[in-house]
Amino acid sequence: MLKEIETQSRKNKQLKKWLILFSRLIALSSLILAFTLPYFPIQSNVFSRKLVSIYIDNSQSMLAEGENGQLFENAKNKARQIIKNLPKNAEIQIIDNSLGSSSNKIYSTVNALRFIDELDIHQKPNDLFGSLKMIQSKYKSDSYGQNFSFLISDFQIQESTYDLNLDSTYHIYACPEFPNLENNLVIDSVWLVKPTIQSQEPIEIMARIRNYGQNNAVSSKLSLRIDGSQRLVKSINILAESYRDIPMSFVNKESGWIGGELSVTDIPIIFDNTYYFSVLINPSIKVLELGMHSVEFLKIFSKDSIFDFTHSTEEELDYSSLSSFDYIILNQLPKISSGLSNQLKKFVFNGGILSVIPNKKKSMLTPFFNELEVANYQSLVNKQISISPSSIQGSFYKGAYKRIPSNLFLPQIQSCYSLNSGPKSDKVLYLKDGSEILSKTDIGSGSIFQFTVPFDSNLNYVASELFVITQLKIAFSGRNTQTIASEVNSLNPIYLPDISGIIILKKGDLDIVTESYKHSSGSRIWLNDEVSESGIYSVLNSESILTAKLALNYSRKESHQNYLDDESLENIFLDAQFTMNENSLASVLKSTGDIQNGSQLWKVFILLCLIFLLIEILLLRFFKS
Going by pLDDT thresholds of 50, 70 and 90, the confidence category of residue 596 is: low
Q: Which of 233, 214, 212, 213 shows the shortest CA–CA distance to 222?
A: 233
As a whole number of angstroms, the distance between CA 166 and CA 129 comes to 12
Residue bearing the bigger pLDDT, 377 or 278: 278
Q: What is the CATH classification number for the domain harbouring 228?
A: 2.60.40.10
pLDDT at 591 over 70: no
* pLDDT tens, position by position, 258-297: 999 999 988 777 888 999 999 988 777 889 999 888 888 8
The verdict on residue 331 lying in a domain is no
Mean pLDDT, the chain, rounded, equals 84
* pLDDT tens, position by position, 427-480: 888 888 888 888 999 888 789 999 988 877 677 778 788 888 888 888 888 765
As a whole number of angstroms, the distance between CA 56 and CA 61 comes to 12
The verdict on residue 92 lying in a domain is yes
User: How many beta carbons lie within 10 A of that of residue 497, not counting itself?
Assistant: 14
Q: Which of 442, 559, 553, 443 shows the shortest CA–CA distance to 494?
A: 553
Report which DSSP code applies to 157. -
Q: What is the mean pLDDT of residues 165-180?
A: 86
Q: Phi-psi bin for 423: left (phi > 0), alpha (psi -120 to 50), beta?
A: alpha
Q: Does one domain contain both 544 and 574? A: no
Strands 170-176 and 577-580, bridge-based pairing? parallel
User: How many beta carbons lie within 10 A of that of residue 204, not counting itself?
Assistant: 13
pLDDT at 183 over 50: yes
Q: Does one domain contain both 69 and 164? A: yes
Please answer whether residues 536 and 551 qualify as being in contact, where contact means their C-beta atoms are separated by less than 8 angstroms: yes
Going by pLDDT thresholds of 50, 70 and 90, the confidence category of residue 549 is: very high
As a whole number of angstroms, the distance between CA 134 and CA 116 comes to 18
Identity of residue 440: K
Please answer whether residues 441 and 447 qualify as being in contact, where contact means their C-beta atoms are separated by less than 8 angstroms: yes
Strands 242-251 and 274-281, bridge-based pairing? unpaired
Is 0.75 topped by the overall pTM?
A: no
Q: What is the CATH classification number for the domain harbouring 593?
A: 3.40.50.410
Query: Which are the contacts of 468, defined by CB distance < 8 A and separation ≥ 6?
Result: 300
* pLDDT tens, position by position, 145-154: 888 999 999 9
Domain count for the chain, please give it: 5
Q: What is the mean pLDDT of residues 232-238?
A: 92
Q: Does one domain contain both 164 and 175? A: yes
Please answer whether residues 288 and 328 qualify as being in contact, where contact means their C-beta atoms are separated by less than 8 angstroms: yes
Buried b (16+ CB within 10 A) or exposed e, 454-479: bbebbeebbebebbeebbbbbbbbbb
The confidence score (pLDDT) of residue 46 equals 44
Lowest mean per-residue pLDDT among 181-190, 199-208, 354-363: 354-363
Whole-angstrom distance between the N-terminal and C-terminal Cα of the chain? 18
SS3 of residue 180 by DSSP:
coil
Going by pLDDT thresholds of 50, 70 and 90, the confidence category of residue 207 is: very high
Q: What is the mean pLDDT of residues 234-246?
A: 91
Length of the chain: 625
Q: Does one domain contain both 166 and 92? A: yes
Residue bearing the bigger pLDDT, 447 or 408: 447
pLDDT at 45 over 50: no
Q: Does one domain contain both 353 and 373? A: yes
**Full residue range of the structural domain in which residue 537 is found:** 485-549
Q: Does one domain contain both 269 and 317? A: no
Q: Which of 321, 310, 317, 308 shows the shortest CA–CA distance to 336?
A: 317
